[in-house]
Amino acid sequence: MQTTPLLIGSFILLFVCQKLIGFFRAVKSIGNHPGHRLLFSPASVLGSFLPKTKYVSLGQNHTFVSKHTVFEAAGCDIHSSVSIIPNIRTMIVLADPAAIKEVTSSRARFPKPVHFYKALSFYGHNIVASEGEEWKKYRKISAPAFSDRNNKLVWDESVKIMEGLFTDVWGDKDAITVDHCVDITLPIALFVIGVAGFGRNVSWKEDVVIPPGHQMTFKDALHIVTTDIFVKLIVPDWAMRLTPRLRRAKLAFDELHRYMAEMIRLRQHSEKVDRHDLFSSLLDANAGDLGGPALTEDELISNIYIFLVAGHETTAHTLCFTFGLLALYQEEQEKLYQHIKSTIPSDRLPTYEEMPLLTHSMAVFYETLRLFPPVAAIPKFAAEDTTLSATDSKGVKITVPVPKGTDITIAVPGLHYNPRYWEDPHAFKPERFLKDWPRDAFVPFSAGARACIGRKFFETEGIAILTMLVSRYKITVKEEPQFAGETFEERKARVLANRAGLTVTPLRVPLVFTRRT
């Protein structure tokens, strides 16, 4: 009887010894470079959800929460992480512009770990969750849609959608109060990507109506999919009916697939006209009209899904943070308003050709992206034994060994809040983008060949929406009795609170939009 416990104890001891040996080898392989030594990997499910505990886990949303402080503690803009569970994992984390540029420009040495993007591959292969020749195929198909001609369409439709909001929804109200600003920015972003990306017009009035054959609106389905994407990733299919939330998430994924299939069928059977939107490029590839191998039905739907998510959630959340910041910093909002007034006559709408003149709008938008980058961590991995260099806090150049298979993480908040490149990095100062600024220390769209293909689309839409709204309405934080005695810093922390999601997601931004006279 004593043999069984002895055997179990021996196996446990052997397992622990193997883990410890592997752990110390991993630490040695990176020259014991400063950083975290953890029980649970930050990239694991448990490591992402457990509270921050020294030597155990880094906690939720750790890359955004820690920003640059972890690099300051390491004394260098490159730090390391070596963890034990679920397996020995070595990670090099970057907030050094030169090292980041080297990684993003050396795709052969530092490719994208596509397995990390499983959450974005529910419907099939796509441009985000691919690498090598497959990615080149998707990129070639998509690139023509992101042209100056289509950007003008993005601008015109954004202006039209904002006009619809002002006249059809807000009407003659002098003040509009919203409990959470995303209730406005989500439909705006959806309408823009719908019409400019996919030729799908949805008016403000139609958006609340569930069409025949569906159980939820297109907007609600897309929003739930982006919100509950990690639920879908973690929970097996058989369990997706166990709770009301899981059933709602399953319905949203099914409904979104149904909507996308309908969009495809409708366009395929409509009159052939000359179009320059993204949807047309994808459909032409699906039909084999562009030469090369045709997209499969799953590839077509999955790429539609990716561009809907990328063009919807990132814009909506960035605009929400932008409006929250302007509500908190009234002097910055007034500077923006005065610049818009001096640039665009009040008797007409801004045009796409005037976008380069709206420098202050762009500065506000960029400063928001610096403070709240949509994606906090950009993953890569080392395809070969190599090294990366940085300068430590004493000005000494150091070389960090990077063994083959090491995870590389570009810590975007760590870079964006790095005091070496951004003076007073925690402050909201749009004027920093009105003069020379460190371009290599700003990567909200990633960098290199894998940089965001829709960057100009995103910027055009954001500048048009921001300019239209601030020119007509003053933004303030909603006054609530329970927060009457809070300080400015407490209010700022509350209004700008966020969580980790598919993108950095605002929790609740309660605002009031008051018509300017």
Q: How many CB atoms lie within 10 A of CB 119?
A: 13
Please give the single-letter amino acid code of residue 156.
D
Q: List, by residue range, all CATH 1.10.630.10 domains of the chain.
A: 144-199+306-375+452-517
- 3-class DSSP assignment, residue 407: strand
Q: Which residues pair with 93 in a beta bridge?
A: 79, 409
* DSSP 8-state symbol, 392: B
Give the long-range contacts of residues 387-396, CB within 8 A, separation 24 or more: 388/78, 388/92, 388/94, 388/99, 388/102, 388/103, 389/98, 389/99, 390/76, 390/77, 390/78, 390/96, 390/98, 390/99, 391/76, 391/77, 391/96, 392/75, 392/76, 393/72, 393/75, 393/76, 394/75
Q: pLDDT per position in the chain (517 positions), as tens? A: 567 777 887 788 888 888 888 889 999 999 999 999 999 988 877 777 788 889 899 988 899 999 999 999 999 999 999 999 888 999 999 999 999 999 999 888 999 888 777 667 778 888 888 888 888 888 887 777 778 888 888 899 999 999 999 998 999 999 999 999 999 998 898 888 888 777 777 677 665 678 888 999 887 887 788 777 777 777 888 888 889 888 999 999 899 888 888 888 887 777 766 666 677 777 776 665 555 667 777 888 888 888 877 778 889 999 999 999 999 999 999 999 999 999 998 778 999 999 999 999 999 999 999 999 999 999 999 999 999 998 888 888 899 999 999 999 999 999 999 999 999 999 999 999 999 999 999 999 988 888 888 888 899 999 999 999 999 999 999 999 999 889 999 999 999 999 877 788 899 999 999 999 8
Domain 144-199+306-375+452-517 has CATH 1.10.630.10: yes
Q: Does this model's pTM top 0.95? A: no
Contact 507, 497 (CB under 8 A): yes
Please give the single-letter amino acid code of residue 273.
V
- 3-class DSSP assignment, residue 84: strand
What distance in Å separates the CA atoms of residue 171 and residue 301, rounded to the nearest whole number?
37
Please give the single-letter amino acid code of residue 15.
F
Give the long-range contacts of residues 43-49, CB within 8 A, separation 24 or more: 43/89, 43/91, 43/116, 43/379, 43/407, 44/83, 44/85, 44/86, 45/234, 46/85, 47/83, 48/500
| 452 assigned binding-site residue | yes
* DSSP 8-state symbol, 448: G
What distance in Å separates the CA atoms of residue 120 and residue 270, rounded to the nearest whole number?
29
